Amino acid sequence: MTLLYAAVYWPLATYVMYPNLAVVVAFLSVTFIGRFAHGAVSFRGHGTRSARTARRFFLVQLFGFFLQQGFTWVLVTGPFFHGPTWWPLVPAVSVVPLLTFWLQRNWVFA
């Protein structure tokens, strides 16, 4: 899912649209696919698939979304750094997946 996010975000942010809007498009694309992939593959046999699980999944995804937006704002579009559009991909492929995977494993699909 992380590489898919990067594959959607980077070209959009670099060539098509404002980077924070590219985060929205990439996030929505990956969240839709990830809900089913994580439930069927990554966390198969862990916990139940109930309405509560779905709510928790989307809360964790929302947390990841705000992290992605924050990293993009701080590193690219905010008042401080104005870096290239690939800079937020560093925490996007290292920090965010670790945090969200841990939450998915220990809270959502526990």
Overall number of domains in the chain: 1
Which tokens go with 54?
Answer: 């779905």
Other beta carbons less than 10 A from residue 50's beta carbon = 9
Considering the entire predicted model, what is its pTM?
A: 0.81
- Domain range for 90 is 2-108
Residue 55: count other Cβ atoms within 10 Å of its Cβ. 11
Residue-level pLDDT at 31 = 82
Model pLDDT for residues 32-64, shown as the tens digit of each residue: 787 676 666 666 666 666 788 889 888 998 999
Specify the pLDDT at position 48.
62
Average pLDDT of the residues in 18-31: 93
pLDDT, one tens digit per residue, over 56-91 is 888 998 999 999 999 999 999 999 899 999 999 999
Token couple for 96: 């965010």
